[in-house]
Amino acid sequence: MNGNLALLFCRQAMSDLEVGRIVFEAGKWSYACFLSQQSSEKSLMLLTAHMDPFPDRSNGATSGSA
């Protein structure tokens, strides 16, 4: 599932960046900054989803001591 989530974040980040470039060229600076920030945030979420920092614990494994 995290692979699909990573792909979703990648596509959305690329889309935000593309639209950000368009509004930048149109002189809409605040929107360009906002979309740049959104693209950066989704890129970081992509890395998080790809690295899977929360492994599946459905196998009964627990964290900490019992």
> Global pTM?
0.68
What SS3 class is residue 2?
helix
CA 25, CA 29: separation in Å to the nearest integer?
9
Condensed to tens digits (0 to 9), the pLDDT of residues 3-61 reads 787 788 889 999 999 999 999 999 999 999 999 999 999 988 888 877 765 656 565 55
